[in-house]
Amino acid sequence: MLPKFDPEGGVAALAAVVRASDRLGRLLWAMPVLESPQVIFRETRVQTLLGVRDLVDKHGDIVLAVRIGATDLCGLFGLRRDRDLTIYDIAVVRDCIADIVNVCGRGGEHVVSGPVWEYFAQPERLFVSSLRVTPFEEADLVDDSADGARMRSRLVSADLDRLIREVVLDKANGLLGKTVIHPSHVPAVHALHVATHEEYTDAMTILADNVGGVRPSHYANKMNELRPHRTWAEGVLRRARAFGVLREGHTFVDVLAATGAL
């Protein structure tokens, strides 16, 4: 982990990782953390991110991912997101995330990992949960004794519904993976990164051919454009190799139930 990563200090940090790998005789992976003032301040952001991307390009054999340190970025402005909000509700950090993905995550060449969710105990909340009831009611749970409604209630009580929403927004904005600070976070983050059967079949359809423009989805609910969706499809297959693929008709709720974590 390379905190406060920027182009100036990053050269020495990555060189140190290479030297340590040589000394130990085995490969060490590096994960730069983008959390410095130069990354988020508007007047230095673009130049800093271009420098970061150049370094990551040169050390692509050892850099697994670039992580966003949103807590430190918030701290630079005296901000802290409330448990009722996601990081995407904090405008100054949301804009910075967009630029990080734009520069460092374009084309799917490098993984940009999502920021930590810092809450794990639930006091009285201000807003009602946005976690829909239907997926839990309709889930074909592995354990017949499991009750989807009770699982949803436990997720809300444990404050994990907000985490779930943030992971969904992470994925929608091009982030992959998430730092966790509490064991209760792991099942939810993992479950939401498992590729759905729909995602996987669409990705396979897109990657099966490069001639022509559009292919119908196996699910008959969308068009799959071969060129615009190709990078997305490649990302789905990478995620599938790491997290697996759900059976048809199953959702992240089934993964949560199978873990026995709730």
Tell me the Cα Rg of the chain.
Answer: 20
- Report how far residue 39's alpha carbon sits from residue 44's, in angstroms, rounded to the nearest whole number: 7
Let me know: does 186 contact 177? Beta carbons within 8 Å: no
Let me know: does 130 contact 160? Beta carbons within 8 Å: no
Within a domain: 22: yes
Query: Position 140: which residue type?
Result: D
**Bridge-partner residues for 34, per DSSP?**
68
Tell me the DSSP string of 50-80.
Answer: HHHHHHHHHTTTTB--EEE-HHHHHHTTT--
Q: What is the mean pLDDT of the chain?
A: 88
Within a domain: 178: no
- Report how far residue 3's alpha carbon sits from residue 24's, in angstroms, rounded to the nearest whole number: 22
Span 53-73, mean pLDDT?
Answer: 96
Within a domain: 109: yes
Within a domain: 235: no
Within a domain: 196: no
Within a domain: 181: no
What's the number of domains the chain is made of? 1
In which domain, by residue range, is 33 found?
A: 1-115
H-assigned helices in the chain? 7-24, 37-40, 42-58, 70-75, 91-104, 134-138, 148-157, 160-172, 185-193, 197-207, 230-243, 252-259
Within a domain: 227: no
- Report how far residue 181's alpha carbon sits from residue 42's, in angstroms, rounded to the nearest whole number: 29
Within a domain: 9: yes
Closest CA to 248 of 195, 204, 208, 206: 195
User: pLDDT tens for residues 8-58?
Assistant: 999 999 999 999 999 999 999 999 999 999 999 999 999 999 999 999 999
Burial (CB < 10 A; 0-12, 13-18, 19+), residue 231, is: middle
User: pLDDT tens for residues 79-126?
Assistant: 998 888 999 999 999 999 999 999 999 878 899 999 999 887 665 555
pLDDT computed for residue 142 by the predictor: 47
- Residue 200 vs residue 184, higher pLDDT: 200
Residue 82, C-beta contacts closer than 8 angstroms, at least 6 positions apart: 126
Q: What is the pTM of this model?
A: 0.85
